[in-house]
Chain A
Amino acid sequence: QVQLKESGPGLVQPSQTLSLTCTVSGFSLTSNSVHWVRQPPGKGLEWVGAIWSGGSTDYNSALKSRLSISRDTSKSQVFLKMNSLQTEDTAIYFCTRRLRDYWGQGVMVTVSS
């Protein structure tokens, strides 16, 4: 069955780089897009970026200068890297297939010294 699972460090220091992994199963990354969405505690949802089935990427314009999304199709993994982290990047980070039917459980990332 289709599953997505996010993993990564729960705590990141300010100005450091966040690295998250979304491991998927039950579908092919070469046939489906994967998006990242984040949600600060108690707040709304924000689209972060996406990697499309062909491997191209798109990013939220507000985050573009700090963000990179890539994938390893052989391992069914999608990677998010965001540098120069600030406290306002504290959020739950979700990966989702096509922003539609399947979402991961989310991983909480806290930016704090």
Chain B
Amino acid sequence: ETGVTQTPRHLVMGMTNKKSLKCEQHLGHNAMYWYKQSAKKPLELMFVYNFKEQTENNSVPSRFSPECPNSSHLFLHLHTLQPEDSALYLCASSPKGYMELDTQYFGPGTRLTVL
């Protein structure tokens, strides 16, 4: 248990659906991250929020839309996804902010299946 929680843990959605993934940390961390973990591929960084401001978008398609309303919560809004977007989506946070090199703490992930 790292103190980073994610909901839901599993999600099945159709290509026309709209859904959101939620990440929460009450560790007082200042940077939050979204990663995609696909089978047989390395974890891919998607987005970074530093002190609630988006600082990285790793060429992610616009059908993924992140939101960071406060320093403890991070969302990933999903719409018109494709079957190849099926993956494990991981949230992470780090204590001092994105510009400070430090350990990232990961949540358990949301297993997303797009039909």
Are A and B physically bound partners? no
